[in-house]
Chain A
């Protein structure tokens, strides 16, 4: 298919662009296969380059022959284009609509994007399961890397290599896979070096209504327990939801079959409810006419903050079981690709200082989200403005980032990255020139899409020194401790950096950030000066000493 077929009018002159916090610009609107561009051809005004894939929804309005297109983006920004001429406007609108909803992944921009920078360190090869396993091997010899899924047949959403207990053979894994939703048999998610406890994740067990059991599954997870120790199964669903799942062939671990495990149910909502929540929240944030009562009641009704609290609470619970109770944990929900990953990745942020570094966080996103088979393509197909019937869209990853931001707010010195880094990840998960978040699983991205050959990794770009600089938290001081966030509603805030980003200027907050950087930079500068002076002085003293005796 040629993009040209979809572009009915490639350019229109005299278009006026309105966008938040910037002066209006008049110029020429151009449509390319992947971008909407507005250029005034003047040096001092900023051009607009908008990826079609960032467009969530558009609205058209006409006053006489002047058309207006409201473009609502997945990063929650809303811009307005005034286009002279009804026909031009209609053409542009229908082209944008077609180009922003392309079904075929291989037509996406990352497959056409050529980096303007030299890739020094290829992000595609930074975080392999082999590398992660090397780290693990240095701490324990109780685990092995299994190739049972090497052609993605045992579990289509798992990577080709997974870490499993050493004593469990591939045959057992296959049988356990048949007993778990989507073939997602229990695998290692995290090893807690401090006490050797582990966190595993899986899909729900397929017990069904007649209480099926699977000896191999039991054997597999029991193999992670120390003699005489009990473990915890954290089911991210309420008991009622888990019960209902039985009717559809799913279910939960029966006490009788898993006597060494205690099951705890939490209440993280399913994806379609989260999507609804996002839509309501963004609607509330964008309505400037709200009275205080109405704003607070809409914020409450959106339930977004409740989801943040519930996810964080569950992650704290998992971390507590491991660190405080010294027990191993198995986390699952239904599919094991959404709430499960929120919990396992946040628990690692709490427990593992390495995850709070920029590189460590990338590794975490790779391990616990991309390779663990979170279906980014499906979840991030639409954002808060989509008026189409939601299919499998859900802000699962955004909620995870929000939770990380909450912990970052509470421990502002313990993270090597800043809020800007989290916002950047949010943007790229929804629309990007990089291939990192394309596809729904390792199988898809490696075998079908061949992303690592055909696209550039987000990490290749992020890790360039000049980009990294923008993501570094100046307050960071490595903290080797477990950090326990407060999950009290009094301590959880609305993530303004994302949800109010386009509604209120951050000029004064940005200035404060710069001031903070300035204070710390100045201190470093002084330290360097003092140190070099001290060295000089010491040198002078040794050189001068013979002269002092006349």
Chain B
């Protein structure tokens, strides 16, 4: 509480950015976790903004009507306030800056968030998703793939999960040797196994090949992966970076696999840009979404200039390439970028969504995020600036994955069990720090923070509320829901994601959601079904009652 200089300001105006005349006056409160605005009207409507969701707080120059304060959230919601006194405005801004950017994990909201669940339930909640079960769903372990204890206590790689799936034929020496030849020890391991073709999607970081270095163990590791798919004679190494970037890394003793040293590999570059390019691009697309009454030309120019859709297309194309290799050619793929925790996570998880209908269900998408992102050390706290830190580490990596899923939903409206709201909710939770799932940058870090004991898991919470996230058009037995998705990635298939980048506009332009009204119809149908079956039981009961006569 020491950061709160002014806990309460009266006669504050909350500006409706689309229709200013709908603005309301009320009281602004600062708590240790939220900014709360309570309307003066009879309804006393409340607006709560979590501090950890606040991205930036601007204070435009004071005007005769008051001191404005603009709160921009990480989920792109914007709140515009007008305070009567400049001094209060300065105080609130200073407090919010401090409160929204804690410098220790302990200050994050998840450590103080106490929903009404007991200890036992909390523990159970952390077991809600089971990655073991997920791998066995894929048919792993098998006679060719098994779990290795090599990373027990994170000995080989401290950003990987402790349990890794590798080819049975890879000896411990090969595993350790391969890890030594990869950036941060992130050796090639299994991410997804495609049962139909026995082809695997593996992931790693870049090899430390420089201009001439090689590692027999690493070469053997790739050989082992290729051999674990008995039908194939070669495998792909998908380097998701632009080739130029990959080449530049060689000067730093890193780079990509030399095709002369690795037998039977085919190297393929995808050209997804790095986190810095993506950060700038998202800033631009956010500005585009936030433009006040732009002309159509301004908007389309901004969209093009941001480069955002081009990047989304690159990520989706990476997934499409992997799917083609795995499902059509039946060839295993090793995916990497530089560190193997950003672009690699994107490419692997997009490919998984295309390959496997399970990942298009509510539970499946949770499992996928838990597996490819959380367990494999995607640096959530760095990328989504949970703490005050290096702004150059921030980048919308998972945003792009969620957007790829959204773009796919637009092309395949019946193929996904969840709706747009689910994606937006996931995005908010990834940034909000209300639950412990996305805190820290690796499994090890979360273990050290004792996340399981001190915070709650978001997955059961989302699951309980799944009725809100249901896509009414989804049917598991629909031909569109089954099998592999083959999206078209011609530029005109990509749309501006209004729900994400123009949240205000979304509310205005879609006052009628077909999805919601269809859900209501379905609910009614369900009740009618129940009533029908109840009615149909009645005559039988009467019959039974009359039988003795």
Contact = CB atoms under 8 A, between A and B. Distances in A.
Given A306-B297, A490-B289, A515-B473, A526 B525 contact: yes
B496 interface: yes
Nearest to B301: A300
B63 interface: no
A292 B491 contact: yes
B532 A300 contact: no
Contact of B517 (A305, A413, A485, A490): A413
Contacts of B299: 489-490
B528 A511 contact: no
Interface string A281-300: 00001001011111111011
A523 interface: yes
B300 A508 contact: no
B508 A486 contact: yes
B273 to A, nearest CB: 13
A125 interface: no
A490 B287 CA distance: 12
A34 to B, nearest CB: 34
Interface string B301-328: 1011001011001000000000000000
Interface string A392-418: 000000000000000000111110000
Given A296-B300, A486-B505, A519-B525, A508 B413 contact: yes
Interface in B186-226: none
Interface string B483-502: 00000101111111010011
B295 A306 contact: yes
A428 B535 CA distance: 50
Nearest to A297: B304
B535 A537 contact: yes
Contacts of B307: 292-293
Nearest to B538: A537
Contacts, number: 153
B480 interface: yes
B296 interface: yes
A306 B297 CA distance: 7
Interface stretch (A149-157, A185-193, A527-535): A527-535
Nearest to B298: A489
Given A297-B304, A491-B505, A516 B514 contact: yes
Interface in B498-547: 498, 501-502, 505, 508-512, 514, 517-518, 521-522, 524-525, 528-529, 531-532, 535-536, 538
B366 to A, nearest CB: 24
Nearest to A489: B299
Given A293-B310, A305-B296, A490 B411 contact: no
B478 interface: yes
B309 A523 contact: no
Contacts of A292: 304, 307, 309-310, 313, 491, 494
B512 A413 contact: yes
B521 A519 contact: yes
Residue among B411, B496, B521 with most chain A CB within 10 A: B521
A1 interface: no
Residue from A288, A309, A410, A526 whose CB has the most chain B CB atoms within 10 Å: A526
B513 to A, nearest CB: 8
A533 B533 CA distance: 11
Nearest to B549: A550
Contacts of B309: 292, 296
A492 B412 CA distance: 21
A11 to B, nearest CB: 38
Given A512-B473, A526-B529, A488 B502 contact: yes
Contacts of B295: 306, 309, 489
Given A300-B297, A300-B300, A519-B521, A486 B535 contact: no
B449 interface: no
Nearest to B516: A413
Contacts of B531: 530
Q: Which of A296, A297, A308, A492 has the most CB of B within 10 A?
A: A296
B531 to A, nearest CB: 5
Contacts of B536: 533
A537 B510 CA distance: 42
Nearest to B411: A508
A421 to B, nearest CB: 17
B294 interface: yes
A296 B480 CA distance: 29
A500 interface: yes
Nearest to A491: B509
Nearest to A529: B532
Interface in A344-373: none
B490 A489 contact: no
Interface string A503-525: 11000110110011001101100
21 contacts: A291-B491, A293-B304, A293-B307, A295-B491, A297-B301, A303-B297, A410-B510, A411-B511, A490-B299, A490-B496, A491-B505, A493-B495, A503-B492, A504-B488, A504-B490, A512-B413, A515-B478, A516-B514, A520-B518, A523-B522, A526-B528
Interface of A: 285, 288, 290-297, 299-300, 303, 305-306, 308-309, 410-414, 475, 485-486, 488-494, 500, 503-504, 508-509, 511-512, 515-516, 519-520, 522-523, 526-527, 529-530, 533-534, 537
Given A288-B490, A490-B502, 7 more contacts: A290-B492, A293-B310, A295-B492, A410-B509, A504-B488, A511-B413, A537-B535
Interface of B: 289, 291, 293-301, 303-304, 307, 309-310, 313, 411-415, 472-473, 475, 478-480, 488, 490-496, 498, 501-502, 505, 508-512, 514, 517-518, 521-522, 524-525, 528-529, 531-532, 535-536, 538
Give the top 8 A-B pairs by smallest Cβ distance, nearest first.
A489-B299, A512-B413, A296-B304, A295-B491, A300-B300, A491-B509, A486-B509, A292-B310
